[in-house]
């Protein structure tokens, strides 16, 4: 156990966590040069395409230190984006230490702070790492000051590195061994392990990722999940070393996986405690705080018979995405589906893409909404996150919406731009304070509904990439909401309804209609798109019909070209939903919320 170190790499998005993991992996010869690729731990297609980490990944590295001893370094690479903080916090629960990376040219940003606080909550030992020192724009002294003044850490403990160039890696590995504590826990005591993640394997069933705090586990053991008393016989235990490497035993302090023929997907819960059926431990571990979804949207299959497949897919995805919550939902326009809660818009997009890619589904997501509290005339309260359930307005006494406290860190030259952006979104400026090096922390209170869609992108744009943002939900405040309905050729499409602030309702209605007009392809008849509040039409757009849709000529026997075009059109159509006679593309459902053309 003295030779084990469990640590996470944490940082603001893009500060180089996955690249640093690459260097550790190469330094310890975990993969051959031939099999190596950049950000090797970002295994999902969607991570590679977007160049960001979405899932935390564990890898166990054998490292021979200067003292001649071989250590097992359990490294967890974590995501930096604010939507995936839940991944970070679960990773931290199985560690004793953390490397906090800071990009030498960007300096401390919002998630640097947020993740530092998370690590402190878990009482972890922290090694600050100044990364990207190879960049011409690197300013190590500035970052040193920030580490001292903004983070309150000792800058002398910081290690300078370039993950890209491989500078400082050896120093870093040595200090992990020397400065981070080894795990503690009795390998002879009754088994006590924390499930911090899992995934589904079509051949082996559920693969449980866990950290052992006590005891020893080996194939053949009868284990029990303490939350539901489900019992399984362990088939295999092992370590993550890019691939799964089976071991004879795992014991206290180690991080690894187990396979136990778990076919009932819902048996495995993140945060649950694993023990032995016949020698249970005294009490379960505290587990994790539930993820608190902030954005809600309904998911429907495009195929009319796709509900069953979607159900199975969600169950399996849930194993690998503990933050996802869902319940059954139905829509007149779209049939059966699920109402889902997400940690943010990126999380929503990721869930959609994973369901589509990993489970080969074609899906429609409805316009995302936050959760409102509605006080009815009779004094009772309703909690609503689905516009379809919005009650008759005459029965409503008042409506409350969630507010956040947003902390925005920017160089002071962008102060005006940020101020404008936040005020446009109904924000209230509470405070601002100077940080080191001409940077500001601006604090706003904002309605959550105003930031869920594209606030972060907008912030990036107006601050030319220098602004960063973190938020907490603070309270619910009284507001004036109305339900905006969309009618297509006179028929209300429930899946397109949204709750909007009264003062902006008309503008939003016009906007939604314009968006839909641009998204809905022309057909052989005219398509009227109307926005309505109560019974009143507030906006109207039309998609003009085709007056002709014919190709003049087939080119000298080139039938292939035209056929390919038809095949492409047909494929596009499979991703559209028929509402009445009108084909509505998948993308249209989310487009109504986008604020302008980009």
- Tell me which residues touch another protein (CB under 8 A): 523-524, 546-560, 562-563, 566-567, 569-570, 573
Asked if 80 is part of the footprint of ligand GTP (rule: CB under 6 A), the reply reads yes
Q: Which is nearer to ligand GTP, 116 or 527 (CB)?
A: 116
Shortest CA distance to 492 belongs to which of 372, 367, 386, 580? 580
Q: List the one residue from 6, 7, 14, 46 that touches ligand GTP (CB under 6 A).
A: 14
Which among ligand GTP, another protein, Mg ion, none contacts residue 37 (Cβ within 5 to 8 A by kind)?
none
Asked if 577 is part of the footprint of Mg ion (rule: CB under 5 A), the reply reads no
Asked if 130 is part of the footprint of ligand GTP (rule: CB under 6 A), the reply reads no
What totals of helices (H) and strands (E) does the chain contain, helices first? Answer: 14, 33
Q: How far is the CB of 59 from ligand GTP (least distance, A)?
A: 14
Q: Who's near 445: CB < 8 A, 6+ residues apart?
A: 403, 404, 405, 406, 427, 428, 430, 474
Structure tokens at 270: 């993140």
Rounded to a whole number of angstroms, the distance between the first and last alpha carbons of the chain is 53
Asked if 18 is part of the footprint of Mg ion (rule: CB under 5 A), the reply reads yes
Asked if 111 is part of the footprint of Mg ion (rule: CB under 5 A), the reply reads no
Which among Mg ion, ligand GTP, another protein, none contacts residue 523 (Cβ within 5 to 8 A by kind)?
another protein
Residue 177 DSSP SS3: helix
DSSP string, 429-477: EEEEEE-STTEEEEEEEEEHHHHTTTHHHHHHHHTTT--EEEEEEEEEE
Q: Residue 82, Cβ neighbours under 10 Å: how many?
A: 22
Task: Please say whether the beta carbons of 310 and 360 come within 8 A.
Answer: no
Q: How far is the CB of 575 from another protein (least distance, A)?
A: 14
Which among Mg ion, another protein, ligand GTP, none contacts residue 19 (Cβ within 5 to 8 A by kind)?
ligand GTP
Which among ligand GTP, Mg ion, another protein, none contacts residue 436 (Cβ within 5 to 8 A by kind)?
none
Angle between helix 17-27 and helix 169-179 axes, rounded to 10 deg? 90
Structure tokens at 468: 């960063």
Q: How far is the CB of 122 from Mg ion (least distance, A)?
A: 20
Shortest CA distance to 95 belongs to which of 208, 254, 268, 281? 254
Binding mask 34-63 for Mg ion (x = CB under 5 A): -------------------x----------
**Which stretch in 7-15, 273-281, 339-347, 370-378 sits in contact with ligand GTP by CB under 6 A?**
7-15
Asked if 16 is part of the footprint of ligand GTP (rule: CB under 6 A), the reply reads yes
How far is 437 from 40, CA to CA, in rounded Å?
Answer: 35
How far is 252 from 62, CA to CA, in rounded Å?
Answer: 17
Asked if 17 is part of the footprint of ligand GTP (rule: CB under 6 A), the reply reads yes
Q: How far is the CB of 20 from ligand GTP (least distance, A)?
A: 7
Residues that bind ligand GTP (CB under 6 A): 11, 13-19, 39, 51-53, 79-80, 131-132, 134-135, 162-164
Residues that bind Mg ion (CB under 5 A): 17-18, 53
């Amino acid at each position: 156990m003295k030779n084990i170190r469990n640590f996470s790499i944490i940082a603001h998005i893009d500060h180089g966590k996955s690249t640093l993991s690459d260097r550790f992996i190469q330094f310890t010869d975990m993969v051959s040069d031939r099999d190596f690729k950049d950000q090797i731990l970002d295994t999902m297609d969607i991570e590679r395409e977007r160049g960001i980490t979405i899932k935390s990944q564990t890898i166990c590295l054998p490292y021979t230190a200067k003292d001649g001893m071989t250590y097992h370094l359990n490294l967890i690479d974590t995501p930096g984006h604010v939507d995936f903080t839940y991944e970070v916090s679960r990773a931290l629960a199985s560690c004793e230490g953390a490397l906090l990376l800071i990009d030498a040219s960007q300096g401390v940003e919002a998630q640097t702070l947020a993740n530092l606080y998370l690590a402190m909550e878990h009482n972890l030992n922290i090694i600050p790492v100044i990364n990207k020192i190879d960049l011409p724009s690197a300013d190590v002294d500035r970052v040193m000051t920030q580490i001292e003044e903004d983070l309150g850490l000792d800058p002398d403990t910081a290690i300078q590195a370039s993950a890209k160039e491989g500078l400082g890696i050896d120093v870093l590995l040595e200090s992990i061994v020397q400065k981070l504590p080894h795990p503690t826990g009795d390998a002879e005591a009754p088994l006590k392990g924390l499930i911090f993640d899992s995934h589904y394997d079509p051949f082996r069933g559920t693969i449980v990722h866990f950290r052992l705090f006590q005891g020893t586990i080996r194939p053949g053991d009868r284990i029990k999940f303490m939350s539901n008393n489900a019992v399984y016989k362990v088939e295999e235990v092992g370590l993550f070393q890019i691939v799964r490497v089976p071991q004879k035993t795992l014991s206290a302090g180690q991080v690894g996986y187990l396979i136990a023929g778990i076919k009932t997907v819902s048996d495995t819960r993140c945060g649950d405690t694993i023990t032995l059926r016949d020698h249970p431990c005294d009490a379960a571990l505290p587990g994790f705080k539930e993820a608190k979804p902030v954005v809600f949207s309904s998911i429907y299959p495009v195929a009319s018979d796709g509900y069953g497949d979607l159900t199975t897919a969600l169950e399996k995805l849930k194993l690998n995405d503990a933050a996802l919550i869902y319940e059954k939902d139905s829509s007149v326009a779209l049939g059966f589906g699920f109402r889902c809660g997400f940690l943010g818009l990126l999380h929503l997009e990721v869930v959609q893409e994973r369901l589509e890619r990993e489970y080969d589904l074609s899906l429609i997501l409805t316009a995302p909404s936050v959760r409102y509290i509605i006080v009815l005339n009779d004094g009772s309260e309703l909690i609503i996150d689905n516009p379809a359930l919005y009650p008759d307005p005459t029965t409503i006494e008042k409506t409350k919406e969630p507010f956040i406290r947003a902390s925005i860190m920017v160089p002071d030259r962008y102060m005006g731009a940020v101020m404008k952006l936040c005020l446009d979104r109904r924000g209230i400026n509470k405070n601002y304070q100077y940080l080191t090096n001409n940077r500001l922390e601006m604090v706003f209170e904002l309605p959550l509904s105003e930031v869920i869609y594209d606030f972060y992108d907008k912030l990036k744009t107006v601050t030319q990439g220098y602004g960063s943002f973190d938020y907490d939900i603070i309270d619910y405040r009284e507001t004036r909401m109305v339900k905006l309905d969309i009618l297509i050729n006179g028929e209300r499409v429930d899946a397109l309804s949204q709750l909007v602030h009264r003062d902006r309702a008309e503008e939003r209605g016009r906007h939604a209609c314009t968006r839909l007009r641009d998204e809905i392809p022309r057909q052989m008849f005219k398509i009227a798109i109307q926005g309505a509040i109560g019974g009143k039409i507030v906006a109207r757009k039309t998609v003009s019909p085709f007056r002709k849709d014919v190709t003049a000529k087939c080119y000298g026997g080139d039938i292939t070209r035209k056929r390919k075009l038809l095949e492409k059109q047909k494929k596009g159509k499979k991703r559209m939903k028929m509402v009445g006679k009108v084909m509505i593309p998948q993308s249209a459902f989310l487009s109504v919320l986008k604020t302008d053309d980009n």
